[in-house]
Amino acid sequence: MKYSYVSHLYCPKCGNEYDTAGKQQLCSCGSPLLVEYEWDELKKVLTPEQLTKRENSLWRYHEMLPVENEEHVVSLGEGMTPLLKLPVLGKEMDIHNLYMKDEGLVPTGTFKARGAAVGVSKAKEIGVKEFAMPTNGNAGAAWALYGAKAGIKSTIVMPKDAPKITRNEVALSGANLYVVDGLISDAGKIVGKAVKDYGLYDVSTLKEPYRIEGKKTMGLEIAEQMGWEMPGVILYPTGGGVGLIGIYKALKELQTLGWVKGRLPRLVAVQAAGCAPIVKAWKEKKTESEFWPNSETKAFGINVPKALGDFLVLDAIYQTDGCAVEVEDESMLEEQKRIARLEGAFICPEGAAVFSAIRRLRRDGWITRDETVVALNTGAGIKYPDTVDSDVPVIKKDTSIKI
């Protein structure tokens, strides 16, 4: 039995195919590439029951991941994050089965670790010695640290406003770190030039095909943790949208394997009102988004004015009868507080945006009382210390307090 049943790369736009041995980036038509597997062969040798005794990491799904030789796996213990039931919040929202997949419990504290783990492992397998990427913070931190583990040198360029903690993570990893007086698009231009000048492997979002494969494991895990029963709705905070693309890909692949049956969950892209290009495109029934000028939101991770994979996100929404929702910053920060008070979870603002969307969709009747709802929290609240204001007065040593 093989470690991976990866077959080839294909372009979802023009249908071109590529092999997985080379340092493949975008398709010649400009589209991101997707990974295909030998499903018929895999169906014969793997059953869901075989998974139960495997290690608690995303590598339990190695046959459906692109790394062909186990020795190339670069792991810091990522994956199999908890799927928590939220009964108190659910009751408040009048949803009987409300769950949160908590992606704060991974190395580097955000779901970006999944993409980095699989992306860096495959980069190691195909012989990459050095890669480069622009980042708003979390992805760069994850790729730099996994790169260090793999012995691959990385160049990371981030805007000066990216969270300080992510800057420190990159610096500590020993990566080449550049901080630019501009936006992520400016960082992207600098990386683009460096990639050309020095022949680096470009690991910008969707410019290499394997990050999606890491992200798709969120979908695989949700299905396994639900006993291979599909929830009614899955909601995802959407910036670049790779997570949503990955979850959709995973669920389709599980259908192909025959491991899940019936209707796919309705997929919902949640964006910040200050940066909602996918929501706008969905409302206008378009298949691609337009650049969102002067984007602004406290949810730094979903401040992406134009995503390279927007057409794939929109396709996932249309195919599953999902929707796209925008949320005001104020509303997501209020929801962040409610979740901590009612359910004890300190989640990131992006994750909180999802709960804000759930509350609204339930009120509007788009989500019904009895369907199972899964919210993705994409990172730990502790990575965003500045979203919380705790202006507590300092008391003197010998004070008595009143309860």
Let me know: does 317 contact 287? Beta carbons within 8 Å: no
User: Which of helix, strand or coil describes residue 131?
Assistant: strand
| Region 366-395 residues binding a second copy, contact defined as CB under 8 A | 380-383, 385, 388-390, 392-395
Task: Tell me which residues in 117-146 interact with a second copy (CB under 8 A).
Answer: 130, 132, 145-146
By beta-carbon proximity to a second copy, the closer residue of 6 and 191 is 191
Q: Is the dihedral of CA 216, 218, 222, 227 positive or negative?
A: positive
Q: Are 115 and 123 in contact (CB under 8 A)?
A: no
Is residue 1 close enough to count as binding a second copy by CB under 8 A?
Answer: no
**Is the CB of 46 or the CB of 105 nearer to a second copy?**
105
Alpha helices in 230-378 (DSSP H): 242-257, 277-283, 310-319, 329-343, 349-363
CB 11 within 8 A of CB 27: yes
Task: Show contacts with a second copy in window 182-221 (CB under 8 A).
Answer: 182, 186, 189-190, 193-194, 197-198, 200
| CB-based contacts of 369, cutoff 8 Å, min separation 6 | 94, 95, 96, 362
Binding to a second copy by residue 51, rule CB under 8 A?
no
Q: How far is CA 247 from CA 166, 239, 259, in A?
A: 25, 15, 15
What tokens does 344 get?
Answer: 């004890």
- Residue whose pair of structure tokens reads 């796996």 in the numeric block: 73
| Cβ-based nearer residue to a second copy, 1 or 394 | 394
User: Does 50 contact a second copy by CB under 8 A?
Assistant: no
- When the beta carbons of 127 and 174 are compared against a second copy, the nearer one is 174
Residue 109 makes contact with a second copy by CB under 8 A: yes
Alpha-carbon dihedral of residues 251, 91, 366, 304, nearest 10 degrees?
A: -60
Least Å from the CB of residue 384 to a second copy: 9
Strand partners, 235: 268, 375
Residues in the chain: 403
What is the distance, to the nearest Å, from the Cα of residue 375 to the centroid of all Cα atoms in its chain?
12
**Which residue's CB is nearer to a second copy, number 2 or number 129?**
129
Please report whether residue 108 would count as binding a second copy according to CB under 8 A: yes
Nearer to a second copy, 67 or 267 (CB): 67
Which of 2, 91, 160, 363 binds a second copy (CB under 8 A)? It is: 160
Q: How many residues bind a second copy (CB under 8 A)?
A: 85
| Per CB under 8 A, 331 contacts a second copy | no
Q: Is 399 in the site for a second copy (CB under 8 A)?
A: yes
- Asked if 226 touches a second copy (CB under 8 A), the answer is no
Q: What does the alpha-carbon distance between residue 37 and residue 54 come to, in Å, rounded to a whole number?
A: 21
345 binds a second copy (CB under 8 A): yes
Distance of CA 1 to the CA centre of its chain: 30
Q: Which region among 174-182, 238-246, 293-301, 311-319 touches a second copy (by CB under 8 A)?
A: 174-182
Q: Does 177 bind a second copy (CB under 8 A)?
A: yes
Coil, strand or helix at 11: coil
- Residue among 160 and 369 whose Cβ is closer to a second copy: 160
- Closer to a second copy at the Cβ: 41 or 186? 186
Question: In the Cβ-directed half-sphere of 261, how many Cα atoms lie within 13 Å?
Answer: 1
By the rule CB under 8 A, 115 interacts with a second copy: no
Contact map string, positions 69 to 88, toward a second copy, x by CB under 8 A: -----xxxx--xxx-x---x
Q: C-beta of 71: minimal distance to a second copy in Å?
A: 11
Distance between CA atoms of residues 390 and 31, nearest Å? 45
The nearer residue to a second copy, 77 or 232, going by C-beta atoms, is 77
Q: With binding defined as CB under 8 A, does residue 232 bind a second copy?
A: no
Rg for the chain, CA atoms, rounded: 21
Strand (E) or helix (H) holding 301: none
168 scored as a contact of a second copy (CB under 8 A): yes
Q: Closest by alpha carbon to 157, among 199, 204, 200, 123?
A: 204
DSSP state of 347: B
Among 99, 282, 346, 355, binds a second copy (CB under 8 A): 346
Measured from the CB atom, is 339 or 361 closer to a second copy?
339
Pick the stretch among 13-21, 49-57, 321-329, 358-366 that binds a second copy (CB under 8 A): 49-57
